[in-house]
Amino acid sequence: MRTSEDRSFLVWLGVITLAFGWLLWPFSGALLWATLLAIIFAPFYRRCLEPFPEWRNAAALSTVIVVVVMVLIPVGVVIASLVDQGGELYQRVQTGEINLAHPLQQLKAALPDWAASLSDRLAGIDLTALKERLSSLVVPAGQQLAGHAINIGQLTLEFVASLLVMLYLLFFFLRDGDELNLRIRDALPLRASHTAKILDAFTLAVRGTIKGIILVAMIQGALGGLIFWLLGLTAPLLAGAVMALLSLLPVVGSAMVWVPAGLYLLVSGAVTKGIILLAFGTFVIGLADNFLRPILVGQSIRMPSYVVLLATLGGLATFGANGFVIGPLVAAMFLTAWQIFVGSKERQEASK
């Protein structure tokens, strides 16, 4: 009888937990980012708390203000600038100031007759069709950015509500983080050693993902935007943002932007700028990841690049924009769980 009652309670507990999760799902993004920011800024909160241990509310509020000033306001300014530059790029393509097929025409004209005819036979190059194809890819995106340029300051009610919920949760996660951590450790139906490893791995994975992936991507994007601006190229902020986004993907990364841009400059006649961009991309942007990631990640969980790539792409496909964080976190927890399982199995075999 006791077992039947316990099973019924567990079923009811599972159902009500799922119902509560479904109720909170509209604010899942706010909950996710509040948790991530609380983990990242927890050391800063503890430093604020050291002089006055009783002033937990003031320390948490100060940390939230720092998050707003250091993270939210700069992100808002960058997004607004991106939309403006995207609209400007669209206008330049529409007016013909930027001709996407012109470099290819110059390259074909520079080739010997036999090479030009061979390229036509092998690749079937139709420059007119290629120009239309490239324009069909750029113009719709530019139209969308240009259409939102005027309304960039008009945030939707849903976004504002999610933002306020995130800041509200962040305050309490910072203030009550240690107590919440203990409650979670006690509530998880796992061995204490396994629970400690999983939660510690989650914390390390969050910090490693933010510092080792996102921060490095932001630095690479900033370097890319800087060189675009110094060379006087079109939409440097937009190019930097795209490079930062692509830098989240290992292997390919930001080279998908600066390599074609450098080749474009070489073919279009701006040889000096093209060489500078390709050299800067190779020796500064490309190597920034190799130097910065080990320093920023530290003792965090390090995953093979192919795992990070697949996890990031899978996260983006499944969860949208939040997936670039969720994907690597799930992968890190997957590896941790299997490490615990293999370690337990090896200890059991050794004890026999």
pLDDT in tens, 247-276: 776 666 788 888 888 888 887 778 888 899
DSSP 238-263: HHHHHHHHHTTSTTTTTHHHHHHHHH
300: left (phi over 0), alpha (psi -120 to 50) or beta: beta
Please tell me the distance from the alpha carbon of residue 331 to that of residue 300, in angstroms, as a whole number: 13
Residue 88 vs residues 44, 55, 124, 145, 332: alpha-carbon distances, Å = 40, 49, 33, 9, 41
Which phi and psi angles does 299 have, rounded to 5°? -90, 10
Amino acid 331: pLDDT: 83
- pLDDT reading at 352 higher than 50: yes
Of 143-147, 221-225, 275-279, least confident by mean pLDDT is: 143-147
Distance of alpha carbon 84 from its chain centroid, rounded?
Answer: 22
Looking only at Cα atoms, what is the longest distance across the chain? 91
- Please indicate, yes or no, whether the overall pTM of this predicted structure exceeds 0.75: no
pLDDT at residue 132 is higher than 70? no
pLDDT of residue 89 exceeding 70: no
- Here the tokens at position 319 are 């969860």
pLDDT for the residue 153:
45
Indicate the average pLDDT of the chain: 75
Is 88 in contact with 157 (CB distance < 8 Å)?
no
Distance of CA 43 to the CA centre of its chain: 22
Task: Decide if pLDDT at 17 tops 80.
Answer: yes
Note the pLDDT of residue 136. 53
pLDDT band for position 65 (50/70/90)? very high
